[in-house]
């Protein structure tokens, strides 16, 4: 059962959301202030906390920071009736999993809470596995990095002045590797700051990276430090670096070459000792050939390159990875194990994690069958006879949930049924 804590000073909002989650079968609690919310989170250890941005005794961002300090694995979703992009970015940087504007669409909220709860449970399970096993070459925390890559991670960690380029398909764990390099380096006690090059416009990305002075653009009412200043002496992780706008690339190159930069709208030269890690799922060499990425920046970034293999290239590790990511108490039937072994996993480790969690939900405590996985098996032998109606239904539900990344509202649309009908079907035990 997913447990949710709603922290909002509006009684109507609290009661409405609590009733909504109760109808979904979630365990819902409420709090009217930041202090009550922090106490309730400490006492009841919810999976997800919904935090209003404006609370009577504290800003919601301060509560977000406190909750994450108390429990780094907790899932926090921010709610606000006064949304603005800088606040949303700040919330994400502080660890919020989502940022929703009031009045919130209930289907959207349900999908956000479901995603957050699955991520939180995965985080907690990985933490338990790591706590039970010694930190060594064969421990569970290393299961999603082959030994050759582990050696390169150690090299990158020791040489912590050198930029690193992490390349690999979507879902291969580039963010995980970046964090691992940081944690093993002498910079581990300093900030690890992440920014996605594809998620921001050129002006906003420049402001986020380098900061801005007051009046640099219309909404710049106060000066702001950039992430290079925040990450000083720590690590700046640039995800999807191949998507960074051309006008920002020369400024990033200057940082890599002499560690200096200027804030947007500023004239003073500032210095940052941040170590830069970059990641991409695209062939940057091809982007250089097309004139979309600076060759000198590419050569500067790829001083040390870590290439992450796809799951297709690591099939011998599938049993260990499956055991690592399978939720506690879940069991695989023989047919499910065969389906996992036959599938190509184009979404790599991330897809494997999500698939196992969704299958555990669908199986309702029974052994996970192949139909719960919802995987198209290439080269599989067709069934001897036609599928039963129930088998066809479960296969369709599993595929719809897989294709929508667990969003029940979107899955219901794909299936052509009401969300309430899908929820009822998911509550039913699955039979063979």
The pLDDT tens digits of the residues spanning 317-362 come to: 788 788 878 887 788 998 899 899 888 888 888 888 888 988 888 8
Asked whether residue 221 carries a pLDDT value surpassing 80, the answer given is no
pLDDT tier at 431, thresholds 50, 70, 90: very low
Average pLDDT, the chain: 81
Domains and CATH numbers, the chain: 3-129 (3.40.50.2300), 147-307 (3.40.50.300), 314-427 (1.10.8.60)
Q: What is the band of 143 on the pLDDT scale with cuts at 50, 70, 90?
A: very low
Res 204: pLDDT: 83
- Is the pLDDT reported for residue 178 higher than 90? yes
Q: Which SS3 state, helix, strand or coil, does residue 185 take?
A: coil
Q: What are phi and psi of 414, to 5 degrees?
A: -60, -40
Q: Which two tokens stand for residue 254?
A: 């200057």
Tell me phi and psi for residue 68, to 5 degrees.
-70, -30
pLDDT at residue 382 tops 50: no
Cβ pair 397, 369 in contact under 8 A: no
Checking if the pLDDT of 180 tops 60, the result is yes
Integer Cα distance of 360 and 178 in angstroms: 29
- Tokens for 116? 């957050």
Cα distances from 119 to residues 97, 196, 239, 270, 400, in angstroms, run: 9, 19, 20, 38, 19
Do strands 3-7 and 192-196 pair parallel, antiparallel, or not at all (unpaired)? Answer: unpaired
Q: What is the mean pLDDT of residues 219-236?
A: 86
DSSP string, 42-71: HHH--SEEEEESB-SSSBHHHHHHHHHHH-
Tokens of 156: 């990158």
Evaluate whether 327 touches 125 at the Cβ level (below 8 Å).
Answer: yes
What pLDDT sits at residue 161? 85
Higher pLDDT, 391 or 3: 3
pLDDT tens figures, 291-302: 888 888 888 888
Strand pairing class (75-80; 260-261): unpaired
Give the Cα-Cα-Cα angle 169, 242, 343 (nearest 5 degrees): 10
Q: What is the pLDDT of residues 66-89, one digit of tens each?
A: 898 888 888 899 888 776 667 776
Q: What are 167's strand-pairing partners? A: 280, 307
pLDDT at 312 over 70: yes
For residue 286, CA distances in Å to 241, 242, 292, 301 come to: 14, 10, 9, 15
Q: Do residues 324 and 144 make contact, with C-beta atoms less than 8 angstroms apart?
A: yes
DSSP H or E segment with residue 255:
helix 249-258
Question: Does residue 389 or residue 116 have the better pLDDT?
Answer: 116
For the cut 50, the answer to whether the pLDDT of residue 432 exceeds it is: no
Residue 102 φ/ψ, nearest 5 degrees = -80, 150
Percent of the chain residues topping a pLDDT of 90: 23
Dist. CA 404–CA 107, nearest whole Å: 13
Per-residue pLDDT for 381 more than 60? no
The Cα 98–Cα 95 span in angstroms is: 9
325 phi/psi in degrees, rounded to 5: -95, -5
Three-class DSSP category at 277: strand
DSSP element (H, E) containing 261: strand 260-261
Residue 213 DSSP label:
-
**Could you read off the pLDDT of 83-129 as tens digits, one per residue?**
666 777 677 767 788 888 888 888 889 888 987 887 777 666 645 54
| Tokens of residue 155, six digits | 């090299």
In this prediction, residue 421 carries a pLDDT of: 82
Q: Where does the pLDDT of residue 238 fall: very low under 50, low under 70, confident under 90, or very high at 90 and above?
A: very high
Predicted pLDDT of residue 7 = 94
Do residues 8 and 79 lie in contact, with contact meaning Cβ atoms separated by under 8 Å? yes
Average pLDDT over residues 189-206: 85
**How far is 167 from 241, CA to CA, in rounded Å?**
10
- Whether 135 has a pLDDT exceeding 70, the answer reads no
Q: Residues 245-293: pLDDT tens digits?
A: 888 999 999 999 889 999 888 888 999 999 999 999 888 888 888 888 8
**CB-based contacts of 16, cutoff 8 Å, min separation 6:** none
pLDDT band for position 403 (cuts 50, 70, 90): low
What CA–CA distance (Å, rounded) separates 339 from 315?
13
Q: Is the pLDDT of residue 187 over 60?
A: yes
């Amino acid at each position: 059962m997913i447990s949710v804590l709603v922290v909002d000073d509006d009684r109507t909002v609290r009661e409405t959301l609590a009733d909504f989650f109760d109808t979904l079968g979630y365990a819902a609690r409420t709090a009217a202030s930041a202090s009550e919310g922090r106490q309730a989170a400490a006492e009841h250890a919810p999976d997800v906390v919904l935090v209003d941005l404006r609370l009577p005794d504290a800003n919601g961002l301060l509560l977000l920071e406190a909750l994450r300090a108390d429990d780094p694995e907790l899932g926090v979703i921010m709610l606000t009736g006064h949304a603005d992009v800088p606040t949303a970015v700040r919330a994400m940087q502080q660890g919020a999993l989502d940022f929703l504007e009031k009045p919130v669409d209930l289907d959207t909220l349900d999908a956000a809470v479901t995603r957050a709860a699955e991520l939180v449970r995965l985080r907690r399970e990985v933490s338990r596995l790591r706590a039970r096993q010694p930190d060594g070459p064969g421990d569970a925390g290393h299961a999603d990095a082959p030994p050759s890559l582990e050696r390169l991670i150690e090299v990158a960690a020791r040489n912590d002045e050198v930029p690193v380029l992490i390349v690999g398909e979507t879902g291969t764990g580039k963010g995980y590797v970046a964090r691992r390099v940081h944690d093993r380096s002498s910079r581990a006690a300093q900030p690890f700051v992440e920014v996605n090059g594809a998620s921001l416009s050129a002006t906003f990305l420049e402001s986020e990276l380098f900061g801005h002075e007051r009046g640099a653009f219309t909404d710049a009412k106060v000066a702001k430090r950039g992430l290079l200043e925040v990450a000083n002496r720590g690590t700046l992780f640039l995800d999807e670096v191949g998507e960074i706008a051309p006008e920002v690339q020369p400024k990033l190159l200057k940082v890599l070459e002499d560690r200096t930069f200027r804030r947007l709208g500023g004239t003073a030269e500032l210095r940052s000792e941040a170590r830069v890690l970059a990641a991409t799922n695209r062939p940057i060499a091809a982007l250089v050939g097309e004139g979309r990425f600076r060759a000198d920046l590419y050569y500067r970034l790829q001083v040390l390159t870590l290439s992450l293999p796809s799951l297709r290239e690591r099939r011998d590790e599938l049993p260990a990875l499956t055991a690592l990511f399978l939720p506690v108490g879940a069991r695989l039937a023989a047919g499910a194990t065969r389906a996992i072994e036959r599938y190509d996993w184009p979404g790599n480790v991330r897809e494997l994690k999500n698939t196992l969690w969704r299958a555990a939900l669908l199986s309702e405590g029974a052994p996970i069958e192949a139909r719960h996985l919802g995987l198209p098996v290439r080269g599989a032998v067709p069934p001897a006879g036609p599928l039963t109606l129930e088998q066809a239904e479960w296969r369709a539900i599993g595929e719809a949930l897989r294709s929508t990344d667990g969003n029940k509202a979107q899955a219901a649309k794909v299936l052509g049924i009401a969300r309430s009908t899908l929820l009822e079907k998911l509550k039913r035990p699955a039979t063979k």
